[in-house]
Amino acid sequence: MHDDRTLVESRLKRVLDERIRPAVYPESVPLTVGIWTAPGEPVPVAEGLAAPRSPITVGDAWGAPWGTSWLTVTGTVPQAWAGRTVEALIDLGFDANMPGFQCEGLVYRPDGTPVKGLNPQNQWVRVASPAAGGETIVLHVEAASNPVILDYHPFLPTELGDKETAGHAPQYKLARMDLAVFDQTVWQLVIDLEVLGELMAELPVESARRWEILRAVERALDTLDLQNINATATSARSELTAALSAPAAPSAHRISAIGHAHIDSAWLWPLRETVRKVARTTANMTALLEDEPEFLYAMSQAQQFAWIKEHRPEVYARVRKAVADGRFVPAGGMWVESDTNMPSSEAMARQFVYGKRFFLDEFGIENHEAWLPDTFGFTGGLPQIIRNAGSKWLLTQKISWSQVNKFPHHTFLWEGIDGTRIFTHFPPVDTYNCSMKGSEIAHAARNFKDKGVARHSLAPTGWGDGGGGTTREMVAKAARLKNIEGSATVHWERPAEFFAKAEAEYPNPPVWVGELYLELHRATLTSQAKTKQGNRRSENLLREAELWCATATLRTGAAYPYDDLDRIWKTVLLHQFHDILPGSSIAWVHREAEATYAKLADELESLIAQAQQALAGNPGERELIFNAAPHERSSVPAGGAAPAPTTPGGCTATERPEGGFTLRNGLLDITIDSDGLVTSVVDVASGRETVAPGTKANLLQLHPDFPNMWDAWDVDQFYRNTGTDLTEVDTLTASATPDRATVRIERSFNSSRVVQTLTLHAGEKRLDIDTEVDWHETEKFLKAAFPLDLHTERYAAETQFGHLYRPTHTNTSWEAAKFEACNHRFVHLDEPGWGVALVTASTYGHDVTRTVRDTDGGTTTTVRFSLLRAPRFPDPKTDQGSHHFHHALVPGATITDAVREGYRIGLPERRVTGSAETVTPLLTVDNEALVVSAVKLADDRSGDLIVRIYESNGGRTRGRLTTSFPLAGAQPCDLLERPWDGTRGDVTLVDGTVELALRPFELVTLRLSQAG
Ligand SMILES: [Zn+2]
């Protein structure tokens, strides 16, 4: 037989495009349209409905960037359409390729009831089925003219990302606004042909099935009268019945589809727009659930449910009903789909606490999967947090974005730093926006790495990033893919159903140990420094506020600010969303975040001050130092307050004859050269030099930084090929008191300026480095380098509830790809018996490299902190302006020292004047390796004290917790403060104290109740 395959395939494409798809709406009449544009920010629905309209017609421009326009469309169904299905077609000027990334609308009935959302892939509103003829149609549309930020030429700098700079030029032209007859049969024919055509394209050319589909398609096309598609669609469909009903092979891959809309809680739109995006999508999805009995939909992020509850109660009522029916599934159990690299231990825990509690309180539902499809890497601390939250599964597809290495599994056990294992699935469809295209389904089946031992994968299905969700076309395609020869099978299933099946079929999955590092988006550890600092400051202040408020409540009976703390936590958690904390949102988002963090800081400072004043007593003239850290310092106990100690003194700063200064405090001898660079740091006790010979520490290095794409997200490895050492010094001065010796260095470069203060305190084996930068660079990366005289194959970087090790070499492609990585408050490097900690108050990105010196054969291991970047997309002015950073170099440090210094740098001492002589801590722990990460009152408002403790050294550790109040009970709990099953955390109450025996990095939450 002659090969006419491509001829028939081309014929299918043209006939579908030019004849069949247009025949879905064979007849139409124009709607009359009126418009009113809100003068500024979005207005309440009632106001939008009531505002006077001006006429507008198809082709007219509308919609300044970030504006809201209220459209009213009116029309009459022609009498001739009686008995037909009639839909309104509302095209606001959509680009079919950009659902969620351009204008959108929410349709209301005249009484203000929301109907459904409108987006480029969903422009229809059913108005009559069957029509009587003569109906008057009135619909209102709240249309958001969100500008396109990520355009066809992506990553070009744009001022559109903030309403303050976006201008007023209309962004869109009104396109089709019609009432139209919807021909269900032709629409079904389109889906039939799409499913078969897309499946056919994925099959091997030599397979019989491919040719059988080709011939069926040809017969169907032959059957159609191209001048009268609507009359011949039924017979064309009947030619396809056999091809559509041939069953799948027994070994076919099995896809659990779940309706979904990935909705970034902020990204290329501000938070306030996400509130409306969620309302549009959920209105759409609840409507689709009513129309499609087999369809199921999952939505993550408790925050988004809370937004609809507050702002669109009518939509929320529909969501509640669909949840109660088991068809709208709250997923993920987190407050938002947060970043996981940077949130602190406590914040990561609270993401689950607030997320799960919301679902439990609102719906009585507890889900067991962490749902993080789009997050930029996963820390080794996360498995234990997931398990402690009462969850057991993780879903993400993001690691498929890695640039270099292909992850070896799709379904596996992921083991964290403490040994907790979480059953994890990476959907092999490699997207969280599956649209049921044949290419996606075939890719999932082909790509699945666990073939032969497992058969199931999950496919989140629906338009996402900016919302949209599943369409009726996707549901119709899924129905045809249930059981069809040549394809994976597709069934709508809830995430929990998928995980249960996947776990059952795969009793011995492979194990991946340690972090799930994303080999991409490494610059999200640095971009938008002020957002990151606001987050870190809030996390620290929340720790202090909870500790001091709990102490004040138990000691003085002061009211505990449950509601304030809840609200503040939720705001902080929201801003850990995976495009806010990582610094990858538009300027508007980061401008607002900075203001929000400032407001939270004021509130938290005031809560802390009130609680401390209550504890210090009033009036009085004694000065007390409060220590919120988990370690004693300056003889002030952890979690208590005591009078200021007398410091040992003894600091000196001496000018060197060759220029520069020497700082001494009896513990460290530090040499700073005439360029203001640190050439020597000697640990006096051991005589050990910290700085590698021939090198200079605290060296600022400036690199060009123009990645190939994703400017705010990415730094590409070639950035290191060139760079400038900032050694020119403008002024160099020193000063000393017995308590401290200080050197101040001023430098200018390009249009920027740096002032650094290096401080040595009396009695402290630590060099503090404060860096003020007035930053006016473009596409540059600023690093602070510390070349250390240390030979080590690995270093420790702090993560949630512990630390993980990374190699200092690049033997394998996996190691080479980690050229920029995350730490929380410290990195620690050591040789047996002697180590160095580098501590940071607010930076996360860093790199560690090694060289061997020609001079003495020794190894120089260089740690560099990443301070600032200057990408121009999506915020063209990222990080411009003034910044302050605080780092510290701690020679001779053990891991215990590193942990202690990490807490210290974020928790400054506070001096309060009052009448009390001391404030005794509520509790003490007698082993420094057991770190108290939170002290708070129980969320159930019972008055019980909640204490979270973790083993911080990575070793087996015993210790005793003693309370300063009579202890009636110590109940191990999960993160939600529910009784823990007791299989972890060896906790025993002995003589009114708690004996603890914890495994390496083990986390335990205790509910302590007072006697009497
Ligand atoms: Zn996302």
pLDDT 10s digits, 628-640: 999 999 899 999 9
Mean pLDDT of the 170-191 span:
98
Q: pLDDT tens, 601-616?
A: 999 999 999 999 999 9
- Would you place residue 618 in the very low, low, confident or very high pLDDT band (cuts 50, 70, 90)? confident
Average pLDDT over the chain reads 97
Euclidean distance between CA atoms 959 and 738, whole angstroms: 37
The token pair at 474 is: 């996707």
Phi and psi for 603 in degrees, rounded to 5? -65, -45
- pLDDT exceeds cutoff 70 at 777: yes
Q: Which residues pair with 963 in a beta bridge?
A: 923
Residue 153 CA to ligand 1 center (angstroms) comes to 20
Q: pLDDT tens, 824-840?
A: 999 999 999 999 999 99
Residue 267 CA to ligand 1 center (angstroms) comes to 8
- pLDDT exceeds cutoff 60 at 982: no
Confirm whether 374 is a catalytic residue.
yes
Q: pLDDT tens, 253-296?
A: 999 999 999 999 999 999 999 999 999 999 999 999 999 999 99
- pLDDT exceeds cutoff 60 at 487: yes
Q: Which helix (DSSP H) or strand (DSSP E) does residue 444 occupy?
A: helix 438-447
- pLDDT exceeds cutoff 80 at 1012: no
Euclidean distance between CA atoms 747 and 758, whole angstroms: 14
Q: What is the spatial order of strands in the sheet that 641-643 belongs to? A: 641-643, 622-626, 910-914
Instruction: Please return the burial class of 408, using the count of CB atoms within 10 Å of its CB with bins 0-12, 13-18 and 19+.
Output: exposed
Mean pLDDT of the 643-661 span:
93
Mean pLDDT of the 385-411 span:
97
Euclidean distance between CA atoms 484 and 489, whole angstroms: 7
- Would you place residue 983 in the very low, low, confident or very high pLDDT band (cuts 50, 70, 90)? low
Say which residue the tokens 């140990």 belong to. Answer: 513
- Among 178, 183, 374, 875, the one annotated catalytic: 374
Say whether pTM exceeds 0.95. yes
Percent share of the chain, pLDDT over 90: 98
Q: pLDDT tens, 861-877?
A: 999 999 999 999 999 99
For the chain, what is the largest distance between any 2 Cα atoms, rounded to a whole number of angstroms?
103
Residue 647 CA to ligand 1 center (angstroms) comes to 51
Mean pLDDT of the 412-434 span:
98
Residue 343: C-alpha distances to residues 186, 501, 822 (Å)? 51, 32, 11
Euclidean distance between CA atoms 545 and 747, whole angstroms: 38
Predicted pLDDT at 644: 86
Residue 195 CA to ligand 1 center (angstroms) comes to 28
Predicted pLDDT at 537: 98
Q: Which residues pair with 759 in a beta bridge?
A: 742, 768
Euclidean distance between CA atoms 324 and 321, whole angstroms: 5
Residue 630 CA to ligand 1 center (angstroms) comes to 35
- Would you place residue 981 in the very low, low, confident or very high pLDDT band (cuts 50, 70, 90)? confident
- Would you place residue 952 in the very low, low, confident or very high pLDDT band (cuts 50, 70, 90)? very high
Predicted pLDDT at 984: 60
Q: pLDDT tens, 318-373?
A: 999 999 999 999 999 999 999 999 999 999 999 999 999 999 999 999 999 999 99
- pLDDT exceeds cutoff 80 at 48: yes
3-state SS track over 704-755: ECCCCCCCCCCCCHHHHHCCEECCCCCEEEEEECCCEEEEEEEEEECCEEEE
Residue 374 CA to ligand 1 center (angstroms) comes to 5
CA 803, 809, 812, 817 torsion: positive or negative? positive
Residue 252 CA to ligand 1 center (angstroms) comes to 31
Residue 532 CA to ligand 1 center (angstroms) comes to 18
Mean pLDDT of the 671-698 span:
98
Q: pLDDT tens, 515-557?
A: 999 999 999 999 999 999 999 999 999 999 999 999 999 999 9
Which DSSP category does 403 fall into? S
Residue 819 CA to ligand 1 center (angstroms) comes to 24
Residue 274: C-alpha distances to residues 263, 433, 876, 954 (Å)? 8, 18, 22, 41
Residue 990 CA to ligand 1 center (angstroms) comes to 49
Predicted pLDDT at 87: 98
Residue 107 CA to ligand 1 center (angstroms) comes to 25
Mean pLDDT of the 917-924 span:
97
Instruction: Please return the burial class of 426, using the count of CB atoms within 10 Å of its CB with bins 0-12, 13-18 and 19+.
Output: buried
Residue 437 CA to ligand 1 center (angstroms) comes to 21
Residue 90 CA to ligand 1 center (angstroms) comes to 28
**Is the distance from CB of 890 to CB of 837 less than 8 angstroms?**
yes
Mean pLDDT of the 160-170 span:
98
Mean pLDDT of the 704-711 span:
98
Mean pLDDT of the 552-573 span:
98
**Is the distance from CB of 748 to CB of 842 less than 8 angstroms?**
no
Residue 579 CA to ligand 1 center (angstroms) comes to 7
Predicted pLDDT at 647: 75
Predicted pLDDT at 402: 97
Mean pLDDT of the 474-493 span:
98
Say which residue the tokens 């124009």 belong to. Answer: 30
Residue 582 CA to ligand 1 center (angstroms) comes to 11
- Would you place residue 851 in the very low, low, confident or very high pLDDT band (cuts 50, 70, 90)? very high
Q: pLDDT tens, 873-918?
A: 999 999 999 999 999 999 999 999 999 999 999 999 999 999 999 9
Predicted pLDDT at 648: 81
Residue 151 CA to ligand 1 center (angstroms) comes to 17
